[in-house]
Amino acid sequence: MDIPGMDPVFMAFSFFRRHKYEECIACCTKILEINPYDESVWSLKTRALTEQVQVDDVEADEEGIADVVLDDNTIRAVPRPGTSLRTATASASQAFRPSSQSGRPLSGVSRPGSQAGRPGTMDQALKTPRTARTARPVSATSGRFVRLGTASMLSQSDGPFINLARLNIGKYANNPGIAKALFEYIFFHENSIREAMELAAQALQATKFEDWWWKVALGKCYFRLGMMRDAEAQFKSAIKQQPMIATFLQLGKIYLRLDQPLAALEVYRTGLDSFPNEVHLLVGVARIQEGLGNLSLSAKYYKNVLAEDSTHVEAIACIGMNHFYSDQPELSLRFYRRLLQMGIGSAELYNNLGLCCFFAQQYDMTLTCFQRALTIAEDETLAEVWYNVGHLSLGIGDVNLAYQCFRLSLTANNDHAESYNNIGVLEMRKGHVDQARAFFQTAASLAPHMFECHYNYSTLAEKTGDLQTSYVLVQKSLTNFPQHADSNDLLLQLGKHFQHL
């Protein structure tokens, strides 16, 4: 849109301030066709192109198979208890709070990497799906960044805006006015980490190692290339020169990637000394405590977050979930209603509201919430909603409706292990031993981290006289959940059987 008599450069800056990046790029392109050496407009165009594809690199960090299995950083195989996220066990009982495949309790919100955890072997990594509908595991994060860059390049008919192969990096490194915008363009838009790292190194050298921004930029490049210790040195030097919240978060992310949660906690606490009650740092501490299994301490930090930001979605959801699994559905209902008042009307929220209403004995609202959840649920969450409706049916004594709900859950997601387990229990009650055995076997193969399917299958084998199979399965159940009383009783009973033989 051209306005007669208005300066086109002012118009381009106006578009940029109003986040109309397409119009800003078009306006800058016209100016550069007339004067290709206008550095201010050239820099503005690089910033507009960067803003179109830029993501928060502190949050959007998910490890793929290549990042996990091919990681050459050596980590102790048997760390001390409470010092590793890999071997952390939940303080809450699995009988009351379900766990993910990695053994951690399910969190209140879905974060990058929160469902998959960090698989230890290639086999576990391949078995960890991205979603309920997609069996393919998370690929390398570098692949996603490359796809972002190439898609943005193809949108330009005349090829990329800047030809990196012919770029004189040394020339721009000495020009602080446009070097930072150029770095972000290369890093986020083109995803050419080597060129970005070269520019950052030369620009840092040109500033005589006195500009903290370039140290952070160089640390980001090292992190993306997997050079954790080099990135750690750059972030520490930047913090010593100029403490910044984002730098503390980046340094904490490095320690989490190296599976050193206590070091990350120390970084966040140091950051809280410089920035008291900073929300992002408090959330980082709460996430680590949750990953280590300290659920009550995690809820305490999330409450501190709400004291500073009463609309923080993650804190509200995690506190609500903690109250629910602490047998306080009425309190949990208050937090989920708060999310609904904030305008978050997802299927997951209505599903949680339905469960809270049911356990708080507000039956009039339970069915309404579940109906709403089923109406707006997508394929990935439909199976979970039907599974919970099945539990609601068992609670009111309608076994036939529960059976149909679990079947519908399997229709939505054929790999839903909990539904297979519950159908197996219903079949066992009907006396259909072969069908129940098949369902338990399927559930155990899909979710080896669950103790319920192993225990149920073990009980069925013991009743049918297959004591050896029952013994093996109850051992697997106790491996997943050592405090399970019924499994321990069954193991003692089997031991007496074997003594009489």
Task: Return the pLDDT at 61.
Answer: 62
Cα–Cα dist 482/476, whole Å: 10
Task: Return the pLDDT at 92.
Answer: 52
Task: Return the pLDDT at 364.
Answer: 87
The three-state secondary structure class of 489 is helix
How many CA within 13 A on the CB side of residue 31? 23
Give the residue-averaged pLDDT of 417-431. Answer: 94
User: Are 200 and 187 spatial neighbours (Cβ–Cβ below 8 Å)?
Assistant: no
pLDDT tens-digit map of 358-390? 999 998 899 999 999 999 998 878 999 999 999
Judge whether residue 289 has pLDDT over 80. yes
Supply the DSSP symbol for 99.
Answer: B
**Token pair of 198 as six digits:** 């070269």
User: Are 454 and 474 spatial neighbours (Cβ–Cβ below 8 Å)?
Assistant: yes
How many CA within 13 A on the CB side of residue 205? 11
Task: Return the pLDDT at 154.
Answer: 37
Identify the CA nearest to 87 among candidates 285, 262, 259: 259
Distances (CA, A) of 245 to 111, 239, 306, 424: 20, 9, 19, 51
Q: pLDDT higher for 103 or 17?
A: 17
Judge whether residue 267 has pLDDT over 60. yes
DSSP for 22-49? HHHHHHHHHHHHH-TT-HHHHHHHHHHH
Q: pLDDT higher for 480 or 24?
A: 24
Query: Which phi and psi angles does 99 have, rounded to 5°?
Result: -120, 160
Distances (CA, A) of 172 to 168, 222, 261: 7, 21, 39
Task: Return the pLDDT at 10.
Answer: 92
Q: Which of 105-119, 335-349, 354-368 has the lowest mean pLDDT?
A: 105-119
Q: pLDDT higher for 105 or 174?
A: 174
Identify the CA nearest to 48 among candidates 23, 67, 71: 23
Identify the CA nearest to 97 among candidates 318, 345, 408, 312: 318
Count CB neighbours of 34 within 10 A: 9
Task: Return the pLDDT at 426.
Answer: 95
Give the residue-averaged pLDDT of 119-134. Answer: 50
Distances (CA, A) of 255 to 71, 83, 85, 250: 14, 12, 11, 9
Q: pLDDT higher for 139 or 232?
A: 232
pLDDT band at 275 (very low <50, low <70, confident <90, very high): very high
Task: Return the pLDDT at 37.
Answer: 85
Judge whether residue 254 has pLDDT over 90. yes
pLDDT band at 147 (very low <50, low <70, confident <90, very high): very low
pLDDT band at 128 (very low <50, low <70, confident <90, very high): low
**Percent of the chain, pLDDT > 70?**
79
Angle formed by the axes of helices 212-224 and 193-206, nearest 10°: 160
Task: Return the pLDDT at 76.
Answer: 58
Task: Return the pLDDT at 132.
Answer: 43
Mean pLDDT, the chain, whole residue set = 84
**Token pair of 437 as six digits:** 């055995």
Give the residue-averaged pLDDT of 49-64. Answer: 77
Q: pLDDT higher for 88 or 52?
A: 52
pLDDT tens-digit map of 466-498? 899 999 999 999 988 888 899 999 999 898 888
Give the residue-averaged pLDDT of 385-411. Answer: 94
Cα–Cα dist 178/198, whole Å: 15
Give the residue-averaged pLDDT of 174-202. Answer: 90
Cα–Cα dist 183/191, whole Å: 10
Buried b (16+ CB within 10 A) or exposed e, 100-134: ebbbbbebbeeeebbbbbbbeeeebbebbbbebee
Identify the CA nearest to 446 among candidates 412, 408, 419, 465: 419
Buried b (16+ CB within 10 A) or exposed e, 58-79: beebbbbbbbbbebeeeeeeee
Cα–Cα dist 163/486, whole Å: 67
Buried b (16+ CB within 10 A) or exposed e, 137-164: bbebbbebbeebbeebeeeeeeebbbee
Identify the CA nearest to 402 among candidates 442, 375, 429: 429
Cα–Cα dist 438/419, whole Å: 13
